[in-house]
């Protein structure tokens, strides 16, 4: 959103996203003397990992565990820092001059600062398998969010399918909540274990985190939950609702009746805001996702814009907290609040904490690397849920001359629905890359434009300037050819 007159500075530092990275960044920024505002869409701070932690029912919080309850510590530090916190505030545009346009209580409001830290967090990877659009199919993380938000759990027989630490955690939490977990179906290929072994010695330095994982496995074994490994050919069966999950494992075909299927194949950075700002990204083949390129203090390819946490690369909540603090230190240094010596001194503890968290990442990334077939779905499988575009249609577009995701919009409206490519973006990139025989880096990603999420037209009128002239929405010309970035 650009106006004919440049908006005045309202703050020294704007932090977008109130997860662990955002809370740590806002707390550190305010403590360093910066006039700081933290903006988040949710009614309570915490992000997805610590969602609703300040208001969660005590019994539910106990069920979710100590790692979840730790988020209350970050919330308390934030509250004591003096940082301004704007809840239920949607960021729907960020201009090149770092004017942040938000929607709050039905009105569009603008903030501006010389330093911006985007802590946009992660989102679950799409799991496009036959039947994944049926009612009764959810992401495992969505089921966990329902628990955190209102103590709600799935009814009936529940099957969890996919791979990753979160799958084990949610399965264990659902068991503790009394849910009928009828099976755990892991899809991680056996070759992942071999690849992960070379990282095992370094991973042992994070033995505390590994012990938590082993405890989750023991909980599931003790409950005698049927556990299938190296599964493939997953398909949800049903007409109007989930009836069963079918798959192959151990050389045999299986069908498990279910009322709810929870899918999970890891999480990926939420890059909608970073794509809007045209920041430099690179494709990470191990995590099979786009990473935002930053320096040690979160500085991106755009001056004044820093990113922290899982919105840059997946590393977990504690790593996100440390990176948020480092980004705030970098912002304070850029504004002259810290000299080089003081920056290094203050950054040292956060650097050690971040290094300690990252030591386990290569092992986990290899062990739970999604199977290739999850990004190479069958032709008749829907990949763009909003516009009901199939994988076969994406491949057909590639054969017709479509060389990247942005052209799929012209060919089929793929990526033009309400989610604006959040769900299908990575999958479309990978399908095109495989069909064209190119690397994902050369195929590129969807080009994102404001608004990041739908906003009511009436809210735009609140941006009118004092003379009554309406604000103008900056729109870039439509691209005539595909570019990688």
In this prediction, residue 226 carries a pLDDT of 97
Task: Please tell me the predicted confidence (pLDDT) of residue 465.
Answer: 52
Q: Would you state the structure tokens that stand for residue 459, as one six-digit string? A: 């809210």
CA distances to 42, 244, 344 from 223, in Å: 35, 21, 49
**Would you state the pLDDT for residue 302?**
98
189-202: per-residue pLDDT in tens? Answer: 999 999 999 999 99
Greater confidence (263 vs 470) lies with 263
pLDDT score at 425: 95
Q: Between β-strands 267-269 and 122-124, what pairing exists: parallel, antiparallel or unpaired?
A: antiparallel
Confidence band for 364, pLDDT divided at 50, 70 and 90: very high
pLDDT at 472: 35
CA-CA distances (angstroms) from residue 5 to 1, 83, 292, 466?
12, 28, 31, 11
HEC secondary structure over 23-67 = HHHHHHHHHCCCCEEEECCCCCCCCCCCCCCCCCCHHHHHHHCHH
Distance, in Å, from the CA atom of 27 to the CA atom of 73, rounded to the nearest integer, reads 12
pLDDT class of 410 with cuts at 50, 70, 90 = confident
Residues 421, 452: contact at Cβ < 8 Å?
no
Q: How far lies 163's CA from each of 138, 235, 360, in Å?
A: 15, 16, 17
Report all structural domains of the chain as residue ranges with CATH numbers, in order of start.
Answer: 13-123+268-338 (3.50.50.60), 126-265 (3.50.50.60), 375-463 (1.10.10)
In what helix (H) or strand (E) does residue 15 lie, and over which residues does it extend? strand 13-16
478 pLDDT above the threshold of 80: no
Residue 381: count of CB within 10 angstroms of its CB: 18
Q: What percent of the chain has pLDDT over 70?
A: 94
pLDDT in tens, 118-156: 999 999 999 999 999 999 999 999 999 999 998 999 999
pLDDT at 274 over 80: yes
* pLDDT-based confidence at residue 418 (cuts at 50, 70, 90): confident
Best mean pLDDT range from 6-20, 51-65, 293-307? 293-307
Q: Tell me: pLDDT of 7 over 90.
A: no
449: its two tokens: 């434009």
Is it the case that residue 351 has pLDDT exceeding 90?
A: yes
Residue pLDDT, tens place only, 58-116: 999 999 999 999 999 999 999 999 999 999 999 999 999 999 999 999 899 999 999 99
Q: Return the minimum-mean-pLDDT range out of 5-9, 126-130, 368-372, 452-456.
A: 5-9
Mean pLDDT of the chain: 92
Residue 466 confidence (pLDDT) above 60: no
Residue 324, token pair as written in the block: 């948020």
Backbone φ and ψ of 379, nearest 5°: -55, -35
pLDDT value of residue 462:
73
Pairwise pLDDT comparison (2 vs 208), residue with the higher score: 208
Please indicate, yes or no, whether the overall pTM of this predicted structure exceeds 0.85. yes
pLDDT at 5: 62
Summarize the confidence of residues 229-246 as an average pLDDT: 97
- For 261, the token pair is 């299927």
Whole-number Å distance between alpha carbons of 358 and 409: 37
pLDDT value of position 457: 85
First-residue to last-residue Cα distance in the chain: 21
pLDDT exceeds cutoff 60 at 471: no
Q: How far is it, in rounded angstroms, from Cα 455 to Cα 148?
A: 27
- pLDDT score, position 194: 95
Q: What percent of the chain stands above pLDDT 90?
A: 88
**Are 201 and 157 within 8 A, CB to CB?**
no
- Specify whether the CB–CB gap between 38 and 54 falls below 8 A: no
pLDDT at site 473: 36
Exposed, middle or buried, 6 (CB in 10 Å: 0-12/13-18/19+)? exposed
Whether the per-residue pLDDT at 474 is higher than 70: the answer is no
Q: What secondary structure does DSSP assign to 356-380, as a single string?
A: HHHTTHHHHHHHTPPPGGGSS--TT
Strand partners, 158: 181, 260
pLDDT at 477 > cutoff 60: no
């Amino acid at each position: 959103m650009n106006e004919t007159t440049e908006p005045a500075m309202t703050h020294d530092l704007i932090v977008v996203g109130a997860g662990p990275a955002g809370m740590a960044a806002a707390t550190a920024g305010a403590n360093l003397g910066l006039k700081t505002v933290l903006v988040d869409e949710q009614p309570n701070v915490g992000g997805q990992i610590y969602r609703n932690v300040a208001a969660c029912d005590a019994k539910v919080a106990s069920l979710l565990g100590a790692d979840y309850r730790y988020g209350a510590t970050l919330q308390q530090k934030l509250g004591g820092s003096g940082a301004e916190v704007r809840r239920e505030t949607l960021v729907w545009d960020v201009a090149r001059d770092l004017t942040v346009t938000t929607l709050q209580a039905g009105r569009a409001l603008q903030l501006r600062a010389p330093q911006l830290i985007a802590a946009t967090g992660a989102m679950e990877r799409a799991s496009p398998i036959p039947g994944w659009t049926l009612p009764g199919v959810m992401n495992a993380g969505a089921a966990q969010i329902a628990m955190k938000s209102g103590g709600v759990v799935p009814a009936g027989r529940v099957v969890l399918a996919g791979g990753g630490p979160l799958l084990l955690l949610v399965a264990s939490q659902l068991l503790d909540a009394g849910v009928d977990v009828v099976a755990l179906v892991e899809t991680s290929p056996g070759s992942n274990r071999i690849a992960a072994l070379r990282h095992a010695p370094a991973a042992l330095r994070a033995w505390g985190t590994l012990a938590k994982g082993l405890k989750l496995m023991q909980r599931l074994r003790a409950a005698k939950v049927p556990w299938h490994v190296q599964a493939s050919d997953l398909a949800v069966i049903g007409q109007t609702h989930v009836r069963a999950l079918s798959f192959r494992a151990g050389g045999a075909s299986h069908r498990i009746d279910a009322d709810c299927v929870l899918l999970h194949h890891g999480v990926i950075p939420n890059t909608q805001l970073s794509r809007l700002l045209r920041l430099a990204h690179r494709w990470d083949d191990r995590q099979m996702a786009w990473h935002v390129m930053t320096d040690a203090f979160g500085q991106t390819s755009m001056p004044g814009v820093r990113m922290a946490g899982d919105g840059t690369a997946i590393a977990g909540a504690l790593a996100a907290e440390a990176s948020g603090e480092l980004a705030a230190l970098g912002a304070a240094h850029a504004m002259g609040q810290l000299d080089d010596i003081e920056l290094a001194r203050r950054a040292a503890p956060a650097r050690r904490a971040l290094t300690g968290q990252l030591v386990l990442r290569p092992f986990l990334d290899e062990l739970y690397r999604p199977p290739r077939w999850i990004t190479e779905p069958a032709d008749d499988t829907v990949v763009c849920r909003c516009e009901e575009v199939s994988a076969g249609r994406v491949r057909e577009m590639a054969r017709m001359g479509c060389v990247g995701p942005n052209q799929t919009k012209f060919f089929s409206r793929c990526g033009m629905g309400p989610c604006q490519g959040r769900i299908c973006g990575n999958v479309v990139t990978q399908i095109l890359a495989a069909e064209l025989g190119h690397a994902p880096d050369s195929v590129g990603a969807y080009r994102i434009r404001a608004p990041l999420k739908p906003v009511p037209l009436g809210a735009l009128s609140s941006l009118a300037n004092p003379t009554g002239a309406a604000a103008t929405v900056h729109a870039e010309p439509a691209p005539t050819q595909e570019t990688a970035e």
